[in-house]
Amino acid sequence: MTLLGIDTGGTFTDFIVYKDGKLVSHKVLSTPSAPEQAILQGIEDLKLDRQELAIVHGSTVATNALLEGKGVATAYITNFGLGDVLSIGRQTRRELYNLQPEKIAPPVAKAYCLETGGRLSCDAEVIEELTDAHLETLVQQVKALQPKAVAINLLFSYLDDSAEKRIAEAMPASLFVSRSSKVLAEYKEYERGIATWLNSYVGPLVQDYLTRLQNKLEKVSIAVMQSAGGTIAAQFAGQEAVHMLLSGPAGGLAAAKFMGEITSQQRLLTFDMGGTSTDVAMIDGELQLSSEGEIAGYPVAIPMVDMHTIGAGGGSIASVDAGGLLQVGPESAGADPGPACYGKGGDLATVTDANLVLGRLRVDAFLGGGMQLDSDAAYNAIKPIAEKLALSVEEAAEGIIRITNEHMAHALRVMSVQRGIDPGELTLVSFGGAGGLHVCALADALAMKSAMVPRYAGVLSALGMLVAPRARQLSQTFNKLLNSLSHEQIEQRFKLLYQQGVLALTEEGVAEKDLIAEYSLDCRYLGQSYFLNVKWKDIKSAIADFQQLHEKRYGHQLSLEVELVNLRLSLKSKIEKLQLPVLNNNNSPEQERRLASLYGINNEVKIYQRDNLACEKVIKGPALIIETVSTTFLAEGWNCEVDKSGCLLLKKA
């Protein structure tokens, strides 16, 4: 089989082809209105035989629909008296001291919030029956509203899902239906309700898109990356659309972990800088997951990679505000029209235009020469900004880069310094099409002594699709004091979760013997609202591990009972590791180097073709290292060595 990893971004769609131990990368401009068009274009460009093709895809369809507010009309069904839960939320104020905050529209309009029976107590006792009359009324209400999807969220349904199942079965067959007891079987009705609504809100769009893609790629095996770093077969992905909100970024982290293992570096601080945004995360041996994520202002309690995202990318637009200060982002020029230098009609200055004006991007080397950049257009786009600031165009371009770097450095501090971690003990890993141009400046800003630009860094998220396992993340609220439970009671609950996961993965053709299970508990002190996650071995170890983790995180322990909140199971398939081509030790020919003038550097700097660099080759900055899908700017004071896998290992001189 030929394996094809695809990451659909806001500006570019990235491809990695793996066959017979060889890797080939490719990029095409994204087609946001119909993402499958860029995918088909890339497959055609690469001349791939569809009969032997297996695709793993990172999609932004769910994310874009949520960010742009373009999901489908969704009816929300809950118990009597709870129709306003999603509107009220946690009653937190985004602007604490603003006495007249802007009114925010509720996720679901009041007319679409329907109430019914089927209420349970916290002990799973029936307080109010779900009657046939209730069901008949619901069906009539739904038919009158004519939504495209339905989200069902009954109180304590994670203890007994029979009422939710009855409602789902009564709904018209044409509707996309999500049940909270299946989407997120955990306590907190607001977070569970939001997750269920999100699944229905974007689910039909994801399902339609994947159906179109499958129809145009008949007989091709297609899997989709999920937010927790595992993949799922395309035919099941639509029903679990909420798990795709961080699909592409999760691929990048999976590949960063893979590259860290190859280069024997386990503790990584990563930044993925694309055309529209930058995603920042930390990897400490394993991917760090969170169930407290937030997207577009909504809490997403589904397990997903723990990352911080900011609106800083190659396409971020620079401007001068009313106070005369230079601003960069979060607005982006996107793929169409894109930065001014793309020559597609854009006339606003972007980070990419600034890098071109400074000489760090080469006019004739973008996408391996496949896309000619317009330096005059970049210059003319920045010129109005320079005039407002009374600076030269080059000085204004340098200011754009410095502000962008400070935005990203702040994001990196959020994931390290603000969590009590010294970034100097970590390796900074840069990827994404624009990341290599900023890696040295960011490492300097955080006093980091080492960095890495992985091989295929410009398309690393696409590579991550090929190194990620088929996986499921399952959870169940089981709220009891740990000391009141027996080992067997917890094991029995885990057994039920395991059976659910095995059933789902065997439907995708994964044999049970090839599955790896990881069990953990969410615990807290009695009376606390938040929890910490610890590995499950036995009750005594869980209590001790929780207390140690609490002291490490918060600086103290408490003499209180430890309470179990949720059981968690991570179920992954074993996967055969890709064997990357090994570089040889032959030195690249001297004549293949070129010289270039860069703003702010007195002497001309050498330009290296990354594909021609030999293993153990050492380069001293300043220098430019160019490749088909990205460019690395090695700043003065930094050295770079090429390891056998082709990664650029950067060290502070």
Domain boundary among 539, 558, 573: 573
Residues 187 and 225 in one domain: no
Predicted local distance difference test score (pLDDT) of residue 346: 87
Q: Tens digits of per-residue pLDDT, 399-419?
A: 999 999 999 999 999 999 988
User: For residue 290, is it within any domain?
Assistant: no
Q: What is the CATH number of the domain that holds 83?
A: 3.40.50
Are residues 187 and 232 located together in one domain of the fold? no
Residue 400 lies in a domain: no
* Residues making up the chain, counted from first to last: 653
Q: In whole angstroms, how far apart are CA 461 and each of 41, 336, 453, 539?
A: 19, 22, 13, 39
Residue 10 in 3-state DSSP?
coil
CA 138 and chain centroid, separation: 37
What average pLDDT does this structure show over 191-219?
94
Answer yes or no: do 477 and 501 share one domain: yes
Q: Give tens-digit pLDDT for 208-228.
A: 999 999 999 988 999 999 999
Each residue's pLDDT tens digit, 299-353: 999 999 998 888 888 889 999 998 999 999 888 887 778 899 998 888 999 999 9
Task: Express each pLDDT in 500-533 by its tens digit.
Answer: 999 999 999 999 999 999 999 999 999 999 999 9
| In-domain check, residue 584 | no
In a domain, 379, yes or no: no
What are the structure tokens assigned to 244, written together? 């795709």
Are residue 132 and residue 212 in the same domain, yes or no? no
- In this prediction, residue 591 carries a pLDDT of 42
For residues 84 and 193, membership in a common domain is answered with yes
- Number of domains the chain contains: 3
Q: Which of 556, 573, 590 is the last residue of a domain?
A: 573
Residues 63, 78: one domain? Answer: no
Range of the domain at 34: 2-67+207-247
Considering the domain architecture, whether residues 242 and 134 belong to the same structural domain is answered as no
Mean pLDDT of 242-266: 91
Q: Pull the structure tokens for residue 446.
A: 């955080």
The residue behind tokens 């860290």 is 260
Query: Residues 113, 137: one domain?
Result: yes
pLDDT above 70: percentage of residues in the chain: 98
At residue 585, the pLDDT reads 65
Q: What's the whole-number mean pLDDT along residues 629-641?
A: 92
Is residue 115 in a domain?
yes
For residue range 61-74, what is the model confidence (pLDDT) as tens digits? Answer: 888 888 788 999 99
First-residue to last-residue Cα distance in the chain: 44
pLDDT tier at 590, thresholds 50, 70, 90: very low
Q: What is the pTM of this model?
A: 0.86
Least confident residue range of 176-185, 209-218, 271-280, 568-577: 271-280
Residue 95 sits in the same domain as residue 194: yes
CA 442 vs CA 57, 438, 620: distances in Å: 30, 6, 18
Among 351, 396, 428, 447, smallest CA distance to 648 is for 428
Nearest to 119 by CA among 80, 171, 159, 76: 80
Q: How confident is the model at residue 587 (pLDDT cuts 50, 70, 90)?
A: low
Question: Are 82 and 187 found together in one domain?
Answer: yes
Q: Which residue matches tokens 């990664």?
A: 647
pLDDT of residue 434: 87
Up-side HSE of residue 423: CA atoms within 13 Å toward CB?
28
Tokens linked to 643: 């390891």
Whichever domain contains 218, its CATH number is: 3.30.420.40
Same domain? For 132 and 243 the reply is no
Which of 198, 217, 235 terminates a domain? The answer is 198
